[in-house]
Every structure is written in C-alpha cells, then in structure tokens.
C-alpha cells in the first residue's frame, strides 16, 4: 500500500515542514514562483503558483507517481489493456476521440472501424434532422430533441449542450429528462408537440430503472396524442451498449446507436451518448470537440510529469486530500455557459474515486476522493465565498475561465476576469486588519485554468483534463475509477420498496424505513380515493 512506501513517508515528513507555511511567505521568498509554477500547453494556461508547495513538494509527489507506475498505467489505459479490474475490461473512452489513423486494439481487434462507423451514423442522422430532411411521422420538421437518461447518460450531454449553446442551431431545442420526479416530466414535455419531437433513450445497459420508467411514460404520453403505434418508429431512438434489450423494448434495430462495454457511462460523452450535442451544434463542431479531447489526451499521454497538467492537478489534489486533510474541493467556472461543469466533475470524481477498497480488495487506510462542489462566478462570491475566505475549513479551489468572451459587451468580460483573479489573490494572501472581524487570514490555495475562448475544442480539452486527473488519483490510491458498485444497493432496496408501495409485498426493513413506508402508503391511499372520487 502507498502508506508503506518510502515516497509516502518522505511526503509525510515534508508536510510537517509545510503545514504552517503561508502562501504569502512562499511568494516573499520566491517572487518568480508564478513564472515557474505554471504550464502553457495544449491550449491551456495553468497557474498553480498559489498553492502550498515548493519545488521539493512537486518532486516528492512525482516520485510517488513514479513509484506507483503511473506512466505504465497510463499506457495500459490507452493501449486497451484491462484497467477496469473489477469488471475485467478496458476503459477506452480515449479511443472514441482518436483522431489519428492509428489502430486501437481490444483483445486483438481494432475497434476504430466500429467507432468510425457509429460516428458516421451519428453525423448522417444529425445532419438530416438539422436540415429538415428527416421529419416526424406526419411530415412536420423536428424542432425538439428530448434525451431520456440519467447519470453519465445525462450530465455530459447536458453540460455540452448548455456550454456550447452559442454554436447551436437555435430552432432545435434539446431537453433532458433524467429524474423520475413527475414535476420534471411535466416541465420537459410541456408545450412539446409530439409531431415535432424525437426522443433519445440513453442507457448503457438498457436496464436503468429511472430511464426505462421515464421512457415508458413518455411512450404513453406520445401514443395518447399520436394515436398510432406505427408513429413510434419515426420519433424514438436508443443509445446503448445493449442492442438486444433496446430492440426487446420496442426500438427498431435501425434506430439504435451503439457504444461499447469498455466505455464507462461518465466517460461516454464522445460516444453516441453525445448525439444530442451533435444535433445541437452540428457534425463539424462536434468533431472540433473531439479534437479538443484528443489534444489533451496526447498531452497527458506523452508530456513529462513535470509539465503535465492533469498529473500536476491530480498530485496537488492528493497533497491536500491525504496530507492536509481537505474534505472538499470547489470548482468555480467564471463563465455562465459552464454552469453545469461543477455537477459534471462532481459525478466524474466522486463516482470514480469514492472507493473504500483497493484493486486487491483490501480496505484502504487513507481517504480516497473529495466532495466536489461549486458554482458560477460571480454569483458564488455572494453566497459561499464568505466561508472560503474566513471560515475554518480548508477548501482548495479550481478557477476556470477564458481570456476572450463569446458575447458582448466585452467590457463586462474584463470585469468578470478581474473578479476571478481577485478572488484567487484574496484567498491566497488575505488581509491584515486591526479589527478582528475584518481580518482575512489568506493561505487558501487555488489553481487557475484559462483558455483563449469557450469553443467546442476548448470544452473537449477541459473535460479530458479532469478525466485524466481522476485517473491519476486512482492510480496513486490503487483503486478502480471505472466501476460504481456503491450505487447498486440503493437501487435494489428501492425496487423492493416500490413493490411494497404498489403491490403490498412486505419486505424486511429497519424500523425507521418501515414506518416511513407505512406513512407513505397511508397518504397514497388517501390520494387514490380522492382521484377516484374526482373521476
């Protein structure tokens, strides 16, 4: 285990020297550190100088990465070897955006021809929708796309559609139905004309409870209006790795867009899961996004660790998580278009790194993962930044922004950047004041990640950066970032309670849950009586 490694021990000793060092002191001793603790590569300007680190810190962290065979593990992932050890398969999301002519093998088979075939099917379909060639059952043009999916089948495409709205076709509205809460169902489908709407049922296994429940309800809604089952074939499509289940559900085989078992749900945006994004922004812009992913993939795979942005970002995170005891990490994009990015990274990191056993099945004696949260600047400056500045909690922050705005007035963007830079400075350096409650302690670390402009390409780079950050952390902690068995127990119990609420089947539960079920049943019974009386 890493806690038994010499490299880990040296970091513990180093932490004892660094734990009370203020960032202000580091800059006083080393005025040029801003020039040294930065990386400009792959279209990203990464400033990590406002961290509680020295050259020795970075050297010791890289020593740890080398001792954990990080370089070899990176190659294992890109080469299609079995890195998802608990499920016995590769994790080859990087192949989905392989823009070279090089083959990528899984069990001796080059998967690139299949990937290109699905990509072509996506491009043909999306262009037919966008041009108006592909129409609904009654001949009306498609003006609404509803993606039915949850988790990785929702968060990635929803983030991308909102982030890239500037580049989208404005006469086609893309919506997302993820929750089984009827309020979201009503909100998404209100004012939708069935004749102008297509539905993409997105589920890797095509067994996801929420997705299938919503799909069944949407089909009922659709048939109530269309009146003909024959109309379904022109309005319902599936995105899945389980074609048989999709066809069994009732989706025509030609309406199925495939991806593969070796693509994790939360890493699937660049697969057919990205179809709603391609419909929104067009095939050329979607390819630009793939090139952005690809450029960061190459940076991660081939750049020495000292200049490798995902590696440095991950190692600093481990430094704070495992030595400083940081429980949370804030993601703050200073761009309204990236308002869903904190939620996306939340799933990416917390579902990947929320593990309590290592790859050998042993309990880990160290904390893996952090609580990821955040908001959009400058809004969050007037909500939770007070705690960041004067609270007693240690919260590292990633600030994300762009040098050039998408929209006018440009002077507003200058003010936006000014606020982002100011928050980073205030967190790091604080302010002395004779009045205690006006004193800002400082010493709070942050990274700044900047690109020239929010484009499909720059969004791809940014997402890929965080994907690889998570992978690096998983290698150091010796955990599998590509499974999520922790979510299965809740699903199983929910199925049991659903049977009780609908069919009266009694299962064993703790006293608290039993009382909750009985209370809910009494209210449901009253509601059913009222509905019968109304009808």
- E strands present in 319-358: 328-333
Cβ 250 vs Cβ 130: under 8 Å: no
Q: Would you call 361 helix, strand, or coil by DSSP?
A: coil
Cα-Cα end-to-end distance for the chain? 65
* CB atoms inside a 10 Å sphere around CB 225: 12
Rg (CA), the chain: 25
Q: Which of 491, 505, 521, 526 is catalytic?
A: 491
| Cβ contact 440:431 at 8 Å | yes
Using alpha carbons, select from 59, 39, 64, 62 the residue that is nearest to residue 49. 39
Residue (of 270, 275, 260) closest to 297 by Cα position? 270
Catalytic residue among 35, 228, 382, 532: 382
The residues near 413 (Cβ < 8 Å, ≥ 6 apart) are: 404, 405
- 382 tagged catalytic: yes
Catalytic choice (340, 349, 351, 467):
351
Question: Where would I find the beta strands (DSSP E) of 115-167?
Answer: 144-148
Distance CA 423, CA 205 (A): 43
d(CA 112, CA 110): 6
Residue 84 contacts residue 275 (beta carbons within 8 Å): no
Do residues 2 and 8 make contact, with C-beta atoms less than 8 angstroms apart? Answer: yes
What CA–CA distance (Å, rounded) separates 466 from 309?
10
The two tokens of residue 26 are: 């580091």
491 is catalytic: yes
Number of Cα atoms under 13 Å in the Cβ half of residue 156: 26
Longest CA pairwise span in the chain (Å): 79
**Residue 4: other Cβ atoms inside 10 A:** 8
Q: Cβ distance 226 to 173 under 8 Å?
A: no
CA gap 122, 270 in Å, rounded: 11
DSSP structural state of residue 364? P
Angle 209-214-219 from CA coordinates, rounded to 5°: 130
Alpha helices in 383-455 (DSSP H): 385-390, 410-429
Catalytic residues, by residue number, are 351, 382, 491
């Amino acid at each position: 285990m890493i806690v038994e490694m010499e490299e880990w021990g040296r970091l513990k000793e180093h932490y004892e020297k660094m734990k009370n060092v203020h960032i202000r002191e580091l800059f006083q001793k080393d005025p040029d550190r801003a020039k040294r603790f930065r990386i400009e590569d792959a279209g990203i300007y990464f400033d990590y100088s406002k961290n509680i680190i020295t050259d020795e810190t970075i050297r010791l962290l890289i020593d740890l990465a080398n001792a954990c065979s990080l370089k070899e593990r990176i190659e294992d992932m890109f080469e299609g070897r079995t890195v998802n050890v608990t499920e016995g398969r590769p994790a080859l999301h990087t192949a989905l955006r392989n823009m070279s002519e090089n083959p990528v093998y899984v069990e001796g088979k080059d998967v690139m021809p299949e990937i290109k075939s699905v990509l072509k099917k996506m491009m043909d379909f999306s262009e037919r929708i966008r041009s108006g060639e592909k129409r609904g059952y009654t001949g009306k043009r498609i003006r609404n796309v509803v993606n039915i999916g949850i988790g990785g089948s929702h968060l990635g495409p929803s983030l991308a559609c909102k982030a890239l709205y500037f580049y989208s076709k404005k006469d086609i509205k893309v919506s997302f139905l993820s929750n089984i809460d009827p309020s979201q169902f009503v909100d998404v489908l209100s004012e939708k004309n069935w004749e102008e709407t297509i539905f993409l049922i997105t589920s890797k296994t095509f067994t996801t409870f929420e997705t299938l429940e919503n799909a069944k309800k949407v089909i009922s809604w659709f048939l109530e209006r269309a009146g003909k089952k024959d109309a379904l074939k022109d309005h319902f499509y599936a995105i899945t790795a389980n074609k048989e289940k999709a066809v069994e559900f009732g989706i025509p085989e030609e309406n199925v867009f495939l991806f593969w078992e070796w693509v994790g749900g939360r890493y699937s945006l660049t697969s057919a899961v990205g179809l709603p994004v391609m419909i929104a922004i067009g095939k050329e812009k979607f390819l630009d996004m793939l090139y952005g992913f690809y450029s960061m993939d190459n940076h991660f795979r081939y750049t020495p660790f000292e200049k490798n942005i995902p590696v440095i970002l991950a190692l600093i995170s481990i430094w704070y998580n495992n030595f400083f005891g940081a429980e949370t990490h804030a993601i703050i994009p200073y761009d309204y278009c990236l308002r869903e990015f904190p939620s996306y990274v939340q799933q990416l990191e917390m579902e990947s790194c929320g593990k309590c056993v290592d790859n050998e099945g042993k309990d880990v004696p160290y904390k893996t993962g952090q609580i990821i949260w955040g908001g959009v600047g400058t809004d969050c400056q007037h909500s939770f930044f007070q705690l960041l500045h004067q609270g007693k909690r240690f919260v590292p922050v990633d600030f994300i922004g762009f040098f050039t705005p998408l929209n006018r007035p440009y002077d507003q963007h200058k003010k936006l950047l000014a606020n982002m830079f100011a928050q980073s400075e205030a967190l790091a350096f604080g302010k002395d004041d004779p009045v205690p409650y006006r004193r800002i302690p400082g010493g709070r670390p942050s990274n700044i990640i900047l690109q020239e402009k929010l484009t499909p390409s720059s969004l791809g780079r940014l997402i890929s950066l965080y994907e690889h950050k998570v992978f690096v952390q998983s290698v150091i902690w010796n955990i599998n970032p590509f499974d999520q068995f922790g979510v299965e127990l809740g699903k199983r119990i929910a199925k049991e309670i659903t049977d009780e609420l609908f069919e009266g089947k009694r299962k064993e539960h703790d006293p608290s849950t039993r009382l909750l079920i009985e209370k809910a049943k009494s209210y449901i019974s009253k509601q059913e009586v009222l509905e019968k009386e109304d009808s």
